[in-house]
Amino acid sequence: MARFLGFTHNHCFITLFFISLSPLGLAQYEHWPYLPGYPEPPPQVYQPPQRPTNVPKIQLRLAGQKRKHNEGRVEVFYSGEWGTVCDDDFSIHAAHVVCRELGYVEAVSWLPSSKYGKGEGKIWMDNVHCNGKETTLAACTSNGWGVTDCKHTEDVGVVCSEKRIPGFKFDNSLLNQIENMNIQVEDIRIRAILATYRKRVPVTEGYVEVKDEGIWKQICDKHWTMKNSRVVCGMFGFPSERKYNTNVYKMFASRRKQHYWAYSMDCSGNEAHISSCKLGNHLNVDAEKNTTCENGMPAVVSCVPGRAFAPSSHSGFRKAFRQEQPLVRLKGGANTGEGRVEVLKNGEWGTVCDDNWNLVSASVVCRELGFGSAKEAITGARLGQGMGPIHLNEIDCTGFEKSVTDCKFNMESQGCNHEEDAAVRCNVPAMGFQNQLRLSGGRNPYEGRVEVLAERNGTLRWGTVCSESWSTVEAMVVCRQLGLGFASHAFQETWYWHGDISADDVVMSGVKCSGTEMSLAHCRHDGAQVSCPRGGGRFGAGVSCSES
């Protein structure tokens, strides 16, 4: 099963590989050649909405204490300065207009009363009324620019959907007037270029490419910094970045015509997502209006995966390495890289209070544990209440600390209780584990007979798992591997679930898990010498999973 990550070119396998990667992970593999019969989809053409002539040009950004990259305080750039929007009369229709103007498909919700912190400067809009179909927030009615009786305690915020508008084109008309313009692109990926990295899972090194106007473009490396690399690596589940062999890439770049993005990227290094980085210099264009990168080449990142995600599990050093006692752990999360944050202090594990808990501090926890930056800083004990003391409160990290215990914090946790336990959801590398396993025959996607993709006589085929000594511990690993939450039951007979008949044969037996594995293949098992007296079919192992 371990050889299986070598990516045999089996049509069934590659197609499956795409089915369940997260959108961010999926972009990593878009450069694989499309299979015969699967034409490459044409780029989607985005028609930027026409702004009525009497409506002023504005720019928007999401600012403040964020817990997800796609949320924040609404800030408007008008008449040469940034200001906020008052929550009076604000509605979900107005939130939709804001999110779409920023390139998100829609709004999920909006929040009044400066939930993302108080803004500064002007309050540009008050009593905003939108019908939801406007092309820009400036086209909605309001009291008039800067006419308000609000204070910054009423600054409004929005939560946008994670999904970006396909083919989105960023409006750069105010670029020369705005110093701190945030990056707005449709998508980003690391595209493996060298043969050694193209065969590896996860993809740890390659060109950084952004999707702009529906087309993947390289970034000119002339203004590229290691801080930018740190942010990109973090988004793809890697705790840190490293130097790479530039000569090889120079040689490779000289042979190909590149398609460059028109800007550079300017990150501080502690952002959890590139949408919080600033847009850098505008590049020069040649006579044909193509962006040029004189004496430069495409920017490359090389990321260092956490130990659990190292591309090969056969390296000798891993056995000799002894993990030192960790100071931080995640508990109560169903999936890899998520859970309630617990800290070890004076020999006792305790929790963290969610006051001021944000993406920057959550990312320190994630990187410390060998994951990337934080996808979400979770408040209100949404991943369960802990026990024992509350060790830390009002955590304030710069984002560069080695451990969350190095950040500033308040030792006093009066007023905090376990209903305010902080948790995180971290960015985790796209390992493709979900594609080696499926549940078959169940009444819903959360249950069924466990079927495994295994190599037999040089071909990949699906088969069942021997149910002898199959327990909830093994079921837990299956549910985690499929991203389906916790295991509610483990089944040793599955005759009432009609799985795929062609997958009746047992391909995996003697499975014994400790419960912490990310994949069933990481558990102890019999290998190629399968032994299962009861046989598969109706006696194949089964599970039912549950989100809570």
Give residue 322's pLDDT.
44
pLDDT of 517 strictly over 60:
yes
pLDDT digits (tens, 9 = 90+) for 340-353: 999 999 899 999 99
Note the pLDDT of residue 74: 96
The pLDDT value given to residue 161: 94
Residue 15 — very low, low, confident or very high, per pLDDT cuts 50/70/90?
Answer: very low
Q: What is the sign of the dihedral through the CA atoms of 257, 260, 264 and 268? A: negative
Q: Cα separation of 21 and 203, whole Å? A: 13
Helix (H/G/I), strand (E/B), else coil: 239:
coil
Q: 2-12+21-36+183-307, what's its fold?
A: Mac-2 Binding Protein (3.10.250)
Burial annotation 405-432 (CB, 10 A radius, 16+ → b, else e) = bebebeeebeebeeebbbbbbbbbbbbb
Give per-residue burial for 97-127: e unless 16+ CB within 10 Å, then b: bbbbbbbbeebbebbeebbbbebeebbbbbb
Q: Classify 433-546 by CATH class.
A: alpha beta
Average pLDDT of the residues in 330-359: 91
pLDDT of residue 250: 86
Pick the CATH number of 59-165 from 1.10.10.10, 2.40.30.20, 3.10.250.10, 3.30.479.30: 3.10.250.10
Q: How far is residue 191 from each of residues 6, 168, 397, 547, measured CA to CA in Å?
A: 18, 21, 31, 33
What average pLDDT does this structure show over 442-454? 90
Q: Using the predicted structure, report yes or no on whether residue 150 has a pLDDT greater than 50.
A: yes
Which whole number is the average pLDDT over 415-438? Answer: 89
Backbone angles phi, psi at 99, to 5 degrees: -65, -45
- Whether 59-165 and 328-426 share one fold: the answer is yes
> How high does pLDDT run on average in the chain?
84
Q: Which of 83-92, 334-343, 433-442, 501-510 has the highest mean pLDDT?
A: 83-92
Model confidence at 90: pLDDT above 50: yes
Give pLDDT tens digits for 236-293: 999 999 999 888 898 888 888 888 998 888 999 999 999 999 888 788 777 666 767 8
Check whether 199 has a pLDDT greater than 80.
no
Q: Which of 170-179, 193-202, 266-275, 302-311 has the lowest mean pLDDT?
A: 170-179
Tell me the two tokens of residue 340: 């309630």
**The tokens 């949408």 sit on which residue?**
275
The region of weakest confidence among 18-27, 154-163, 187-196 is: 18-27
Q: What is the dihedral of CA 256, 259, 264, 270, to 10 degrees?
A: -80
pLDDT of residue 418: 95
Q: Which CATH architecture has domain 328-426?
A: Roll (3.10)
pLDDT band at 42 (very low <50, low <70, confident <90, very high): low
Nearest to 518 by CA among 490, 547, 548, 476: 476
Model confidence at 9, in pLDDT bands (50, 70, 90)? very low
Domain boundaries, the chain: 2-12+21-36+183-307, 59-165, 328-426, 433-546
Give alpha helix (H) positions in 8-163.
11-19, 23-28, 92-101
Average pLDDT over residues 181-197: 87
